[in-house]
Amino acid sequence: MKSKKIILIFMAILVLIIIAGYFGIKYVKERNETSEINEYTPEQEITEEQYRQTIVTLYYVDKETSEIKPEARMVDIKEIMNNPYEKILNLLLEGPKNENLISVIPQGTKLNNVTLDGNCLIIDFSSEILNFDNNAVNLKDNLINCIVNTVTELTEVNEVKFLVDGESVEDFGLNYTRQ
């Protein structure tokens, strides 16, 4: 008798759980159907110009530590579509925006030409690039590494060769890779 009573109580509890579950699920479904969908509305519309922006990384030297540090710049994609190497190198020649960084490229240096030969970027600078102080510790290495690290951010560039006024020079005789 006692076991029948336990079975009946168990069955009653089971029926109550099933009924509660049914109505609980029904309530949640109805609530989801009637709730409004809130769309995100930005405070300001994104302009076409902002949509075309991309980030490029340029490398300069930290004033205090003399270590090479990256500086991110926003650039319009239209400006770098035709010749990204030339645009990025000209940005590098302009110098850093961050006042804690300095450019080690000598003043007056101009970019004569830049071409991609396979995975090697050949950069032809004006003779002013040779006006760096040979006695300064790591200046030439920092100069080379700032340029090489900047252009090798582009996936198709794996090494860099320097020319000065269209000629190979002893100061930059090797093909350089990222350090």
Q: What is the pLDDT of residues 79-97, one digit of tens each?
A: 888 889 999 999 999 999 9
> Per-residue confidence at 51, pLDDT binned at 50, 70, 90?
low
Using CA atoms, how far apart are residues 13 and 20, in angstroms rounded to an integer? 10
Give start and end residues of each alpha helix (H) in 46-151.
48-51, 77-80, 84-94, 139-151
pLDDT of 168 higher than 60: yes
Residue 165 structure tokens? 């006024």
Residues 6 or more apart whose CB falls under 8 angstroms from that of 48 comprise: none
Handedness of CA 159, 59, 94, 72 (dihedral sign): positive
> Per-residue confidence at 158, pLDDT binned at 50, 70, 90?
very high
Using CA atoms, how far apart are residues 69 and 3, in angstroms rounded to an integer? 80
Task: Identify the pLDDT of residue 93.
Answer: 93
Tell me the backbone φ, ψ of residue 111, rounded to 5 degrees.
Answer: -95, 115
pTM over 0.75: no
Our measurement of the distance from residue 115's CA atom to the centroid of its chain's CA atoms, rounded to an integer in Å, reads 23
Ranges of each domain in the chain: 1-35, 54-176
